[in-house]
Structure 1
């Protein structure tokens, strides 16, 4: 059995159950008391080199299935359980998790356990997992709801070429619903979308050095659409360029008319995978800057790991093209991608943002705290600044300061706010600071 890493939970072998038995047991677990612990469901799809043999249930392929389940059970806790839902899919239930982060670590650990080829009789079989994760904290609270959310997340992981995706509020929402598409089209056409800005505070100077620009749906427009759903609809239905143009020009206009006197060094905007893959992106951004007489150093570009690793070589080439133009780049949601360490040295970036899923539980989870410390040390070894997002309380802030985190973004300082409110907030925040 391969050596397993940080997320290994080697406390015995969990039972392998038929799919219907797993569903019944999961229903019972969700109805029982769990305290503050988290339960997670993983839908693991396997791309295997003996796919035909597996479907025909040939003897050697059955031996591979047995070896597969042995490897999987070796990575799980004794109270966890799993089912072979088909020749190329496994369902896994993780119980009593101290943090949602552990489910993501378990997914990475599963991939490591399956790296070595399987040998069974005349067969040498390789497998590549694609995993969807649903946790009780963010997904529907029924057994079927969790399985469906995990399945949808798995499909999204496949389309993004990611090892795993954690289910979000978009899972279970019919994004093809006509009302949603019409609403987004109308909001863009009527220029109804607004921006909110959340400060990034430098811990050494206690000054706001930059802000992240976040898109907001108008409160009076029905149906109400969250920013996450808004961006996903824009990506799926060919509106992401229009949405990015709206964000860029709104940010530049509000900087020119309101924010310039604050002395902000940089305003960060988020780039989607679709925009990163567009060869015309550098010129698209430059045209916006030229209209508002601004330079590239004003705009920082936050790129999620999932956007980068879809086509890694093309992404790296585009990132170099952007930095050549003078744009600063950051990797957002760092720690959620599978290929982070392998490619980090090749990314022309200036900072890393630690995903809030690690930050928000670090005072109660030693695992999360160790991960955050590791990411900070890693980034500093690469001469990168580190931003912790999702910081909501003084205890987390103090722990991050002890770990030498560079910048903080979160409710502990300020919520996202409109530009005019940001100007007033910054003036008050900097009172008495040299």
Structure 2
């Protein structure tokens, strides 16, 4: 549709019923503009130069030209729906046309205005959804691996490239340099000037750093104010320091934003494969430790190379520390909670539990660094049960205060294959006197297809407990709808890569709308994750989405901070107004965590 006009291409040889009907069409209040050609060959030429919403083809009693045109449309990947008007076609011919992906087939003696309008509307809507799905899939693939603000590779893509660089370097017996960079005082700029200025500063930083490095290098944004680079060739100490100096030179000039001038400082850490570590996660830790050492200097810019001293905690494999952390209660591995808002009530109804690791020597270790370690080392089941136990403990503490919040816990693909998961879950739910209907297990689509039979058996065992089951990151995996119908699923979570762009992209809006409609048609509740602004929240509410979560409402918060959010947020439950825990009560909650059995 272009500027309120609905573009229709009609094809008819000689006199046609379309001559009388087409000019009288009005689609969704838009004026219909038709262009007539006399053959499929002329139509192909018109489609090359024009933009049409649909094609009406009067084939008379010969369906062959329509099938040929549809085949050429499919070959050229043109997503223009083709509707056939026929005269005395046999029913098997009409069925054959529909099997050829013809959008609809109408007998000329049934050709009435309202019938044709419905056919065009349904066909064009389906075509737009398909086009939007294709575009959104391409954009989703990019978004999933890139930072939405700077366009740089994100942490996930960065680690993938670092793994590749190390593998290649191992074959070639060459070193790889890893560089991490932190902006001094960025949080202060964000706090004093606002996130909009902070975002512009990050974009300008990224642009300058990209020009300073070589095309063969990888630059990524891996945290709020942290960047990292991979220098895969010529990775000598001298060469890496030279690259770091080039970055500093690029950032020395003040940044001018909205009549404000900002002068920043940075700390840079360098580590080398295989000198400092032989795997990506350990190499990152060595570089970040070197970067943090820059805090000891008072200079505006600091470059530090990882040391080789045996005193460094990073010389010990991270997996050993993870085993120790699992035996250390919630002192290292702690759980944060992100609110989930019931959009019909406008109130928080539950939270998603997300594990974090505060390493005593290395600081905060990101989940994408230790979750794969846990899976490879056979610790993922213990980690999942650790999170479940502490989440149920916190839920019990809230329940004692009159706050009823559902708890959603993520289950990895490997844990989903464990037939004892339902038994462990049953024991913990009973130990904390939890209501099973207020406990949700989130699984990914890829976890289901890893071993469908075992996954189904585990999910059926969980379903018998009365807990809820949600499919996370829905729309990004490979789950067949027939699987969903067979599985005891109650909820789908629309992936944030679709949700984050829907307030600006019509294609993302169509995707989210279609997934919400699909979920409701399957009798499922629909959660949208990645809600980062008020426009997106309003759009989801209008589309009838059931639940939303994202940074617009709240980041994942430690339990104590969530109490304050529940009291002060406009989405907090009314019962939270009474929630004013004293220091003694907070100590009791802490003891509740530590004494829970797993």
Same fold (TM over 0.5): yes
Q: Does 1:283 align with 2:423?
A: yes
Q: Does 1:187 align with 2:325?
A: yes
Q: Distance between the aligned counterparts of 1:291 and 1:420, measured in 2? A: 23
Q: Is the 8 A contact 2:531 2:537 kept in 1?
A: yes
Report the 3-state secondary structure (helix = DSSP H, G, I; strand = E; otherwise coil) of the residue aligned with 1:253.
helix
Q: 1:310/1:418 Cα in 2 relative to 1: closer, same or farther (>3 Å)?
A: same
Quote the offset at 1:245 in angstroms. Answer: 1.8
Q: Does 1:266 align with 2:423?
A: no
Q: 1:100/1:428 Cα in 2 relative to 1: closer, same or farther (>3 Å)?
A: farther
Q: Is the 8 A contact 2:337 2:557 kept in 1?
A: yes
Q: 1:258/1:417 Cα in 2 relative to 1: closer, same or farther (>3 Å)?
A: same
Shifted more, 301-310 versus 213-222: the winner is: 213-222
Which of residues 98, 103, 115 in structure 1 aligns to 2:138? 103
For residues 370-419 of structure 1, the C-alpha deviation after alignment (integer angstroms, 9 at most, x for no partner) is 11111000000011111100101011111111211111101111111122
Quote the offset at 1:179 in angstroms. Answer: 3.1
Q: Is the 8 A contact 1:331 1:352 kept in 2?
A: yes
Q: 1:174 is matched with which residue? A: 280
Which of residues 487, 498, 502 in structure 2 aligns to 1:358? 498
1:274-423 aligned at under 5 Å gives the runs: 274-423=414-563
Q: 1:247/1:346 Cα in 2 relative to 1: closer, same or farther (>3 Å)?
A: same
Q: Distance between the aligned counterparts of 1:145 and 1:202, measured in 2? A: 35
For residues 192-234 of structure 1, the C-alpha deviation after alignment (integer angstroms, 9 at most, x for no partner) is 2111111111111111111101101216541542122222211
Q: 1:139 is matched with which residue? A: 153
Q: Is the 8 A contact 1:134 1:150 kept in 2?
A: no
Q: 1:390/1:219 Cα in 2 relative to 1: closer, same or farther (>3 Å)?
A: farther
Q: Does 1:250 align with 2:390?
A: yes
Quote the offset at 1:256 in angstroms. Answer: 2.3
Q: 1:145/1:75 Cα in 2 relative to 1: closer, same or farther (>3 Å)?
A: farther
Q: Distance between the aligned counterparts of 1:379 and 1:405, measured in 2? A: 10
Q: Distance between the aligned counterparts of 2:568 and 2:472, measured in 1? A: 29
Report the 3-state secondary structure (helix = DSSP H, G, I; strand = E; otherwise coil) of the residue aligned with 2:469.
strand
1:51-130 aligned at under 5 Å gives the runs: 101-103=136-138
Q: 2:16 is matched with which residue? A: none
Quote the offset at 1:102 in angstroms. Answer: 3.5
Quote the offset at 1:295 in angstroms. Answer: 3.7
Q: Does 1:216 align with 2:356?
A: yes
Q: What TM-score do the two structures reach when normalised by structure 2?
A: 0.45
Q: 1:140/1:391 Cα in 2 relative to 1: closer, same or farther (>3 Å)?
A: closer
For residues 28-79 of structure 1, the C-alpha deviation after alignment (integer angstroms, 9 at most, x for no partner) is xxxxxxxxxxxxxxxxxxxxxxxxxxxxxxxxxxxxxxxxxxxxx9779xxx
Quote the offset at 1:355 in angstroms. Answer: 0.7
Report the 3-state secondary structure (helix = DSSP H, G, I; strand = E; otherwise coil) of the residue aligned with 2:344.
coil
Q: Is the 8 A contact 1:359 1:389 kept in 2?
A: yes
RMSD: 3.7
Q: Point out which structure has higher relative CO (alpha carbons under 8 A, 6+ apart).
A: 1
Q: 1:160 is matched with which residue? A: none
Quote the offset at 1:264 in angstroms. Answer: 2.3
Q: What TM-score do the two structures reach when normalised by structure 1?
A: 0.61
Quote the offset at 1:312 in angstroms. Answer: 1.6
Report the 3-state secondary structure (helix = DSSP H, G, I; strand = E; otherwise coil) of the residue aligned with 1:288.
helix
Q: Is the 8 A contact 1:323 1:329 kept in 2?
A: yes
Q: 1:18 is matched with which residue? A: none
Report the 3-state secondary structure (helix = DSSP H, G, I; strand = E; otherwise coil) of the residue aligned with 2:511.
helix
Quote the offset at 1:255 in angstroms. Answer: 2.1
Q: Distance between the aligned counterparts of 1:229 and 1:281, measured in 2? A: 24
Unmatched 5+ stretches in structure 1: 1-72, 77-97, 108-132, 153-166
Q: 1:219/1:401 Cα in 2 relative to 1: closer, same or farther (>3 Å)?
A: farther
More helix by share: 2
Q: Distance between the aligned counterparts of 1:174 and 1:326, measured in 2? A: 41
Quote the offset at 1:147 in angstroms. Answer: 8.8
- The count of aligned residue pairs is 301
Q: Distance between the aligned counterparts of 1:307 and 1:256, measured in 2? A: 29
Q: 1:221/1:245 Cα in 2 relative to 1: closer, same or farther (>3 Å)?
A: farther
Q: Does 1:230 align with 2:230?
A: no
Q: Is the 8 A contact 1:362 1:369 kept in 2?
A: yes
Q: 1:181/1:433 Cα in 2 relative to 1: closer, same or farther (>3 Å)?
A: closer
